[in-house]
Amino acid sequence: MQMANERLRDALLRNGLDPEQVAKAVNVDPKTVERWITKGRTPYPKYRHKLAALARESESYLWPQAVAAERKAETAAAEVVSVFPHRNAIPADLWDRLIKDAGQTIEILVHAALFLVERPRFVKGLAKKAADGARIRLAFGDPEGDSVALRSEEEQLGEGTLAARIRNALAYYRPLVDVDGIEIRFHNTTLYNSIFRFDDEMIINTHVYGFQGAHAPALHLRRLSAGDLFETYSESFEAAWNSARPATF
């Protein structure tokens, strides 16, 4: 028995699309769209690409079994725009462009990321984007959590140093509390990577034992329809977010 494609249903709903609108956009009968959703039928490749674009999701997310492994591997490599030896080697104008251009989704998973609030208008800019309809989710390390205490030790920062850095960062984000469209949580996960998502682009700051994040490598990713790499980090963010608790200031 074929199951409904809940990922496709959810993605279309999030983008305000009903079966009739989708059918018109991809030039098929609305009943065909209904079968793709309710019966989990897999569309032909020419339709999958259009549907993924409409739903703002990757083909590999919407139809995990439909994209060949070889194509996933090739596309994943193509999703890597740049590799930086250290996060602090990322040009300031790249950060500025990503932040400026993001209009729908901003997701940040970090411990403190104090470097972001060094931009004078970063926090006000987030509030403006939320007012314009962007969905913004910010997950910081729980200052009281075991994982933050351990990371402070591993990075040789000293006891309580990372927790204090997080509290310092949070002071800048206080104006965003209760702003519609913005959610802030504390996570207590082992942070293997810091994730900075701006619509269909990401900065992934890998974490290396004994090194602070600024001195660890970073990847610039751009989402491609059949890719798997961007989606992997997106699902990782979701898992950390779902285990996090509302932030307290």
- Report all structural domains of the chain as residue ranges with CATH numbers, in order of start: 6-66 (1.10.260.40), 76-246 (3.30.870.10)
**Whole-angstrom Cα Rg for the chain:** 20
Closest CA to 56 of 12, 21, 5: 12
pLDDT of residue 184: 97
Task: Kindly state the average pLDDT of the residues 99-115.
Answer: 94
The torsion of the CA quartet 36, 42, 43, 44, rounded to 10 degrees, works out to -170
Q: What is the mean pLDDT of the chain?
A: 88
Q: Give the distance from CA 145 to its chain's centroid.
A: 23
Nearest CA to 229 out of 2, 44, 13, 77 is that of 77
How would residue 154 be classed by pLDDT, with cut points 50, 70 and 90? confident
Separation of alpha carbons 214 and 192, rounded Å: 14
Residue 89 clears pLDDT 70, i.e. is over it: yes
Q: Residue 118's pLDDT is what?
A: 87
